[in-house]
């Protein structure tokens, strides 16, 4: 199984999100064996951002304990730097794009299933 570095994974994810490439187009353009890899990267990116695209070390992945965030320690938007805010905006835009893409794929799949069921019932 091939290991891909973070930069490559991010490049593929952003090509789907920002350039509105289909999964098939991205797969062919980046010479990947399947679309499933891209789907997994999109889900990881949506869930945990760029850090989730880091290669996993070791054979097993363990669940990380949830961090206990102290409300007093949490940075407010007023205290965040401009770079932090821009990074958050980029992440949120990517998340919205992923959700829109997922919704459109679900609607397309439902429409195809409905078409198929109509054809089956007519026969």
For the chain, domain boundaries: 6-55+81-122
Q: Count the helix, strand and coil residues of the chain and give each as a percent rounded to the nearest 5.
A: 65, 0, 35
Q: Which of 20-24, 27-31, 92-96 has the lowest mean pLDDT?
A: 20-24
Percent of the chain with pLDDT over 90: 11
Spatial CB neighbours of 85, under 8 Å, sequence gap ≥ 6: 77
- Find out whether 50 and 17 touch, Cβ atoms under 8 Å: no
- Find out whether 33 and 7 touch, Cβ atoms under 8 Å: no
Residue-wise pLDDT for 31-79, tens only, equals 888 889 889 889 988 888 888 888 776 555 555 556 666 565 566 767 8
pTM for the predicted model, two decimal places: 0.45
Q: Which of 26, 60, 65, 56 minimizes the C-alpha distance to 42?
A: 26
Q: Which of 30, 35, 54, 34 minimizes the C-alpha distance to 44?
A: 54
């Amino acid at each position: 199984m091939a290991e891909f570095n973070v930069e490559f994974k991010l490049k593929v994810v952003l090509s789907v999100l920002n350039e509105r490439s289909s999964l098939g187009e991205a797969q062919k353009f980046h010479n990947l064996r399947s679309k499933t890899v891209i789907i997994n990267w999109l889900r990881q990116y949506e869930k945990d951002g760029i850090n989730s695209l880091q290669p996993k070390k070791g054979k097993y992945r363990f669940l990380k304990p949830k961090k206990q965030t102290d409300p007093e320690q949490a940075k407010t938007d007023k205290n965040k730097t401009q770079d932090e805010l821009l990074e958050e905006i980029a992440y949120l835009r990517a998340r919205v794009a992923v959700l829109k893409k997922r919704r459109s794929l679900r609607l397309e799949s439902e429409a195809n299933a409905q078409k198929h069921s109509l054809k089956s019932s007519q026969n």
